[in-house]
Amino acid sequence: MVEWYSWRGQVLDIDLTSEKITKIPSDKYFPKFLGGRGLEGKVIWDDVPEGTGALDPENRIIFAPSTLTGTSSPLNGRWNIGALSPQHPKEYPTSSGIGGHWGAELKFAGYDGVVVHGRASQHSYILIRDESVEIRSASHLWGMDSMEAQKRIAEDIAKEGPVPDTSEKPQAGRYAAINIRTVIIGRAGENRSRVACVLHDTGDAAGQGGFGGVMGSKNLKAIAVRGTSPVKIADPQRMVEVSFKIRKMIRSKAVPVIPPYGGPGGLYGGNPAILTGYVKRTDACFGCQVACRGYFDVPGASPGQAQCVQLQMYNNWEGVGPVAPPHPDFADRVQDETTWYGVRLADLLTINSYELTGILSWLWAGYKEGIFNEENTGIPIQDMGSKEFADKLFGMIANREGEFGDLLAEGLHRAAKKLKEKFGNRVWELYEERYVAHGMRQHWFYIGNAKGPGDPTGYPNPIGQLMWAMGTRDPYSNCSFTREPFGVEEVSELIYGTKEAANPFTYDGKAQAAAIAHTRGAMNDSLGFCDWFYPILTIEPLFAEEEEGEEQVGRKLGDLTVEAQMFSAATGIEKTIDELMEDTSRIMNMERAVQVRMGRRREDDTFNEYYFNNPDRRGNPIDRVAWEKVKDEYYEQMGWDPKTGIPTRERLEQLDMKDVADALGV
């Protein structure tokens, strides 16, 4: 029997059609594909038949903890959900990060992932308690909001009495139903919205991708899990030593992102009065010392956790970019109780808040230009910002009510494409102004804030351009660190191996930088490192500290090898950071191979036409000739054919993927 460290040794495969539950040995996937996104890519390549649609029974939705999830590795609570994406215009597969405690709980139950396919004959949920795995009826849960249903699951299980093993365990305590962790969908997911999220606890969400709709298409309301066994690690002493070193480096970055101190929410234009008045505590994912989210209790709505743009979703909707200045019409609006009401309603219905920022901005712009009104949409756009408006619009989307409700439930890409036939091309132009590629909302396509209301353009972000074009979703879910090296040559050289990448006004060095950033981001998702803090590029201690006998004061460069040190200590498999990057390249090429099999080619590696036709802050649109040249360089960095964008046989065989090369016919 294989002795597993960090991994647990089995992956659950659940066929909802036949109700067959299979426990697959983890060595089918690991260590070759690491975990997290690696598991997703391998499962989709192996098991999703060609021609499958995102909402078809044969699509697999993969709930994928990372290699280090559930260990003492700092900030390991992030994990991933992946599938063919109903939000993507071509339904290419994508992945969404999610935090909280569910991933760790699954590892405690003894599993490295859950793969769900088929379609249940009735509304169902899955209950996992250590070795016990059940498919249960969710008929009494269907139609409940995400919070109510989670509570009901825990209450129902508690009433059933104890499970067989209720002994006190030194590593995990005693089994109690109250500690069950659940991922769940609300009405938007039940009605197969392409922009429905998957929610966990009171605010952790896999937002982008439309995976709530995938769960709904399978008649799957939730997966609840409770585990009571420890995650073993290979070298505990080394693990403690590396963890201490990482925690010491990270703690200097903690204060600026805590909500009461003006972090997520505050940095995005939030009103400090509501942050400090209604934040009852900070909230953290499993294994996190930072606690970057606030737990809010605001009159008139249920309490819960939130952070970042989520807090601004129902406050500043006219800014084309999520951090743009507010529209002059609403310059005096403060973030108040109504703001929180909208945030919570979206979570209860499980509508992706980030998509809603785009929908609200697009609707208001169309209203101001005289395109949309209540009569021709059924939406009281003039009342935007009220509780009643949130009830109306969000309810229309979640329940697919009326023409507009049904179309917006398909996501703004599909809605705008359809509605331009009725209202003219301007509705599409307003969409492209707000969305970059893959049917997803503008996010750091430029550096810096927008010039003003209704204008997304800032300074160039050539690394971001490449990542947006080459991926299948908003890249800044796992590549946020790419902004830090701009303008700082020593940091650029540290992470990208070239000082040229620090200059955002040229494409010099950007292909190399984007290839590294994309791969490093996928490594975060696969190993279990939070993107907000890894890689550790700089260290700026708050206080003078002594290290190796010398006083360290002020900013210094970080350590890009700690991920490899942690992986080696946890798994017992000694790896350098370069070796882990090569392992992650295997994952990247597996993801690309799936897309190629679905028809993706070089011409698909781009973004919306808006950015070629409209100037940035310096007065220049993106140069098509220069853009095509830097694409050539990116393909060369990745080992893909510049003519087609298909991985070469040479590169696939280097990555021990000859079978994939044979299947692609390269």
Residue 402 sits in the same domain as residue 507: no
**Amino acid in position 130:** D
DSSP H or E segment with residue 62:
strand 61-64
Largest Cα separation within the chain, whole Å, is 73
Position 308 confidence tier, pLDDT thresholds 50, 70, 90:
confident
> 554 in a domain, yes or no?
no
Position 166 confidence tier, pLDDT thresholds 50, 70, 90:
low
Query: What span, in angstroms and rounded, lies between the C-alpha atoms of 417 and 420?
Result: 6
Query: What span, in angstroms and rounded, lies between the C-alpha atoms of 350 and 144?
Result: 11
Cα dist. 358→138, 435, 442 in Å?
33, 8, 8
Task: List, for residues 215-246, the tens digit of each pLDDT value.
Answer: 999 999 999 999 989 999 999 999 999 999 99
Rg (CA), the chain: 24
Q: Classify burial at 662, counting beta carbons within 10 Å of its beta carbon; exposed 0-12, middle 13-18, buried 19 or more.
A: exposed
Residue 612 sits in the same domain as residue 521: yes
Q: How many CA atoms lie within 13 A of 55 on its CB side?
A: 19
Residue 210 sits in the same domain as residue 269: no
Q: What is the pLDDT at residue 426? A: 97
Average pLDDT of every residue of the chain: 89
Query: What span, in angstroms and rounded, lies between the C-alpha atoms of 664 and 666?
Result: 6
> 2 in a domain, yes or no?
no
CA nearest to 226, candidates 283, 177, 160, 188: 177
Specify whether the CB–CB gap between 598 and 92 falls below 8 A: yes
> 162 in a domain, yes or no?
yes
Most confident of 153-157, 348-352, 448-452: 348-352
The residue with tokens 């040995």 is 25
Query: What span, in angstroms and rounded, lies between the C-alpha atoms of 612 and 630?
Result: 15
> Helix, strand, coil: what percent of the chain each, to 5?
40, 15, 45
Domain with residue 634: its CATH number is 1.10.599.10
Residue 173 sits in the same domain as residue 79: yes
Residue 212 sits in the same domain as residue 286: no
**Amino acid in position 87:** Q
Secondary structure (H, E, C), 379-408: CCHHHCCCHHHHHHHHHHHHHCCHHHHHHH
Q: What is the pLDDT at residue 250? A: 81
What residues contact 408, with CB distance under 8 A and at least 6 apart?
A: 359, 396, 397, 415
Phi, psi of 256 (to 5 degrees): -65, -15
Q: What is the pLDDT at residue 263? A: 41
> 1 in a domain, yes or no?
no
Beta-sheet strands, E only, within 564-614: none
Mean pLDDT lowest among 247-256, 414-423, 574-583: 247-256
Domain with residue 334: its CATH number is 1.10.569.10
Residue 243 sits in the same domain as residue 109: no
Task: List, for residues 39-67, the tens digit of each pLDDT value.
Answer: 999 999 999 999 999 999 999 999 999 99
**Whole-prediction pTM:** 0.94
Q: What is the pLDDT at residue 425? A: 97
Query: What span, in angstroms and rounded, lies between the C-alpha atoms of 478 and 40?
Result: 16
CA nearest to 406, candidates 592, 193, 189, 613: 193
Which of 385, 411, 430 is a domain's end point? 430
pLDDT at 542 exceeding the cut of 90: no
Specify whether the CB–CB gap between 258 and 292 falls below 8 A: yes
Q: What is the pLDDT at residue 65? A: 97
> 340 in a domain, yes or no?
yes
Task: List, for residues 500-524, the tens digit of each pLDDT value.
Answer: 999 999 999 999 999 999 999 999 9
Burial 42-69 (b: 16+ CB within 10 A, else e): bbbbeebeeebebbbbebbbbbbbbbbb
Query: What span, in angstroms and rounded, lies between the C-alpha atoms of 12 and 110?
Result: 10
Residue 59 sits in the same domain as residue 21: yes
Query: What span, in angstroms and rounded, lies between the C-alpha atoms of 279 and 288?
Result: 19
The 10 Å Cβ neighbour count of residue 263 is: 23
DSSP H or E segment with residue 205:
strand 204-206
> 393 in a domain, yes or no?
yes
Q: What is the pLDDT at residue 330? A: 66
Task: List, for residues 111-163, the tens digit of each pLDDT value.
Answer: 999 999 999 999 999 999 999 999 999 999 999 999 999 999 999 998 887 66
Specify whether the CB–CB gap between 628 and 606 falls below 8 A: no
**Number of helices (H), then strands (E), in the chain:** 23, 21
Residue 335 sits in the same domain as residue 468: no
Q: Distance from CA of residue 490 to its chain's centroid? A: 29
Which of 407, 430, 453 is a domain's end point? 430
> 209 in a domain, yes or no?
yes
pLDDT at 650 exceeding the cut of 80: yes
Residue 360 sits in the same domain as residue 388: yes
DSSP H or E segment with residue 148:
helix 146-159
What residues contact 372, with CB distance under 8 A and at least 6 apart?
A: 363, 366, 379, 381, 423
The count of structural domains within the chain is 3
Query: What are the residues facing 83 on neighbouring strands?
Result: 94
Secondary structure (3-state) at 3: coil
Helices 489-496 and 510-527 pack at an angle, to 10 degrees, of 60
Which of 159, 192, 226 is a domain's end point? 226
Which residues span the domain enclosing 603? Answer: 462-539+576-664
Residue 250 sits in the same domain as residue 217: no
Specify whether the CB–CB gap between 282 and 260 falls below 8 A: yes
Q: Distance from CA of residue 665 to its chain's centroid? A: 32
Mean pLDDT of 549-569: 81
Q: For 265-276, give the DSSP string.
A: TTTTT--HHHHH
The 10 Å Cβ neighbour count of residue 566 is: 29
Domain with residue 38: its CATH number is 3.60.9.10
Residue 589 sits in the same domain as residue 468: yes
Specify whether the CB–CB gap between 82 and 35 falls below 8 A: no
Sign of dihedral through CA atoms 118, 119, 122, 123? positive
Mean pLDDT of 151-177: 76
> 585 in a domain, yes or no?
yes
Residue 405 sits in the same domain as residue 300: yes
Specify whether the CB–CB gap between 436 and 425 falls below 8 A: no
Cα dist. 447→79, 109, 460 in Å?
27, 43, 6
